[in-house]
Amino acid sequence: MTITGRGRWLVAACLAVIVALAAAGWQARIHWSARNPRPDLTTTVGSTVTSHGATFRIDKVQVARQLPAEEQGDPPVKAPAGAVIVLITLTTEIVDDSVKPDDNLCETTLIDPDGRTWRTGNDDITYNLKRPAALSCAGSSDHRIRAHHPLQVGFSYLIPATAADTFRIRMDIGTGGDDDYLVDFTR
């Protein structure tokens, strides 16, 4: 059986379509995987995780329409209509003397089942909450974390009320490189 010029063209066109669809599918998978990396560990709030020479434990997760204000005597901090405030309190401790305070990094992100994400913000609502003074795992500018001294850290979020019962907490521990450790905490 011989393939004519028109037949060759059809075979080539079909192969080109198959290759294009396979490439598009591969790119979509890569894009989805980059946005939704698989955690190295899934654990619960209250459990301690050790990584990069330090321990990390989420102590408390508060979800409310309003929370106490930082300044005593100020009215409570209220979320706008349709939103809630989330305050996460965690404790970290450097357990390896070779770890420098600026290298004790962690970042928390809230993720709902639909893939929506929220990172801690510096908006007026969450900034005025009563919470630990440290806003990063390295400590504050005037109170750096030190080895073998636990540090309490507070992360706050403003999220839609519809996500209040469904979000999970993802913590990225590390230096921002390829060796970061991802932990999903369930409540």
Q: In whole angstroms, what is the distance from residue 87 CA to residue 62 CA?
A: 5
- Per-residue b/e over 116-148, b at no fewer than 16 CB within 10 Å? eebebeeeebbebbebbebbbbbbeeeeebebe
Q: In whole angstroms, what is the distance from residue 69 CA to residue 129 CA?
A: 5
Among all chains, which residue has been given the structure tokens 């997760």? 61
Q: Write out the chain's pLDDT in tens, 187 residues.
A: 666 666 666 666 656 666 555 555 555 444 444 455 788 888 999 999 999 999 999 999 999 999 999 999 999 999 999 999 999 999 999 999 999 888 899 999 999 999 999 988 666 777 789 999 888 999 987 888 999 999 999 999 999 999 999 999 999 998 666 778 899 998 8
Residue 5 has what pLDDT?
A: 66
Q: What's the pTM value of the predicted model, to 2 decimals?
A: 0.77
Q: In whole angstroms, what is the distance from residue 21 CA to residue 15 CA?
A: 10
H or E element, residue 180: none
Neighbours of 83 (CB within 10 A): 18
- pLDDT tens-digit readout, 49-100: 999 999 999 999 999 999 999 999 999 999 999 999 999 999 999 999 999 8
Residue 29 has what pLDDT?
A: 46
**Contact indicator for 131, 70 with CB cutoff of 8 Å:** yes
DSSP structure string for 4-62:
-HHHHHHHHHHHHHHHHHHHHHHHHHHHHHHHSPPPSEEEETT-EEEETTEEEEEEEEE
